[in-house]
């Protein structure tokens, strides 16, 4: 049976979404019911409302087929396609065989920092378009150029295809920073969820290390189940079943899941990893492994700022256009990226 959103024209659904989130707080509370509290945290009201709407619509990240899951994410993001007020120019780039898109905010001078971004989606779903508004937001609010890389997806291209493409795109950015009108001494990596995993892997494996890493709720260890997966594995957008579904498609060979290129938390040496802002969501099954990675960076002597947005759930980067706490969290991350790239040392020639 088709979902309600598949039978309603997208402009109508978008208008309804805006109207619901524009309601007064007390009305939203009447709709959502009692606050959700778990593990000493209280879910943000707008986050609770969005989860309720998602459940009513019957949506989930995983699906009976890969094609359905990909269509579902694309459809969901089409309702959240608001862009920053400042214009952003885009152009397609061939990053040594990896399709990519370069974002340049209007008025940004040549020689600005560059961010290489990897979209989330469990290494199975997602593309340049599903994370277009995320890249535009970071470009505008961090004052950077953004090179978004469309790495190959599983199951058509299982591990390590995504890792190989992530490294290829990053190495292209390093070698061609000047041609991209970017500063070769200020190149960062970023990504959300599976994209955060790829950004972390680049930080571990790249010969020329990035100058900064911005990691949104990254997947860092495919070999273990942590407490947050038990606490938040059902009812908070990304589910335990979704995680099993994604990992099974991405890396069906369970022995290879311990590779540092799949599970960067298990890398032996993290001392050369770049300075990092790592943000987790409180109601996220990936929370604990992301925070474990931050602790390992700290133990290795890497400058790292760990920020738990304890009232949000997985995927909040894509939801910034709804405003409220979603946009606040993205604004904070963009500020950290801007500070890390503009105020950090630039010693490379």
Kindly name the residue from 112, 190, 193, 247 that is annotated as catalytic.
193
314 is a catalytic site residue: yes
Contact 111, 181 (CB under 8 A): yes
Contact 337, 188 (CB under 8 A): yes
Contact 331, 102 (CB under 8 A): no
Distance CA 316, CA 328 (A): 10
Indicate the angle between helix axes 45-57 and 25-32, nearest 10 degrees.
Answer: 50
Kindly name the residue from 165, 284, 288, 311 that is annotated as catalytic.
284
Per-residue b/e over 83-114, b at no fewer than 16 CB within 10 Å? ebeeebebeebebeebbbbbbbbeebeeebbb
Contact 115, 104 (CB under 8 A): no
- In the numeric block, which tokens belong to residue 158? 């299982």
Kindly name the residue from 119, 141, 249, 314 that is annotated as catalytic.
314
Distances (CA, A) of 199 to 151, 192, 212, 229: 12, 9, 10, 22
Distances (CA, A) of 207 to 89, 112, 170, 251: 31, 22, 11, 24
Catalytic residue numbers, as ranges: 193, 284, 314
């Amino acid at each position: 049976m088709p979902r309600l959103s598949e039978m309603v024209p997208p402009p109508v659904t978008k208008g309804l979404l805006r109207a619901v989130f524009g309601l007064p707080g007390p009305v939203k509370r009447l709709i959502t019911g009692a606050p959700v509290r778990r593990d000493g945290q209280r879910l943000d009201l707008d986050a609770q409302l969005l989860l309720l709407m998602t459940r009513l619509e019957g949506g989930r990240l995983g699906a009976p087929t890969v094609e359905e899951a990909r269509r579902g994410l694309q459809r969901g993001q089409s309702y959240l396609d608001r862009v920053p007020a400042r214009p952003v120019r885009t152009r397609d780039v061939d990053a040594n065989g990896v399709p990519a898109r370069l974002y340049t905010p209007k008025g940004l001078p040549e020689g600005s920092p560059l961010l290489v971004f990897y979209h989330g989606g469990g290494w199975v779903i997602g593309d340049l378009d599903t994370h277009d508004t995320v890249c535009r937001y970071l470009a505008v609010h961090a004052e950077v150029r953004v090179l978004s890389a469309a790495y190959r997806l599983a199951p058509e291209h299982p591990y390590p295809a995504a890792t190989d493409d992530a490294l290829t795109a990053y190495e292209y950015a390093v070698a061609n920073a000047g041609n991209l009108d970017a500063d070769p001494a200020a190149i960062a990596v970023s990504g959300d969820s599976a994209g955060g995993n790829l950004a972390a892997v680049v930080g571990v494996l790249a010969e020329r290390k990035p100058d900064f890493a911005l990691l949104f709720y990254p997947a860092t260890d495919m070999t273990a189940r942590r407490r947050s997966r038990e606490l938040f594995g059902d009812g908070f957008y990304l589910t335990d079943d979704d995680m099993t579904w994604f990992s099974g498609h991405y890396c069906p060979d369970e022995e290879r899941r311990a590779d540092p290129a799949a599970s960067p938390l298990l890398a032996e040496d993290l001392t050369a990893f770049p300075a990092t802002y790592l943000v987790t969501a409180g109601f996220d099954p990936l929370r604990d492994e992301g925070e474990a990675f931050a602790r390992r960076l700290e133990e290795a002597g890497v400058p790292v700022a760990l920020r738990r947005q304890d009232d949000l759930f997985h995927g909040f980067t894509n939801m910034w256009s709804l405003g409220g706490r979603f946009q606040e969290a993205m604004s904070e991350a963009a500020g950290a990226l801007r500070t890390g790239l503009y105020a950090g040392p630039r010693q490379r020639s």
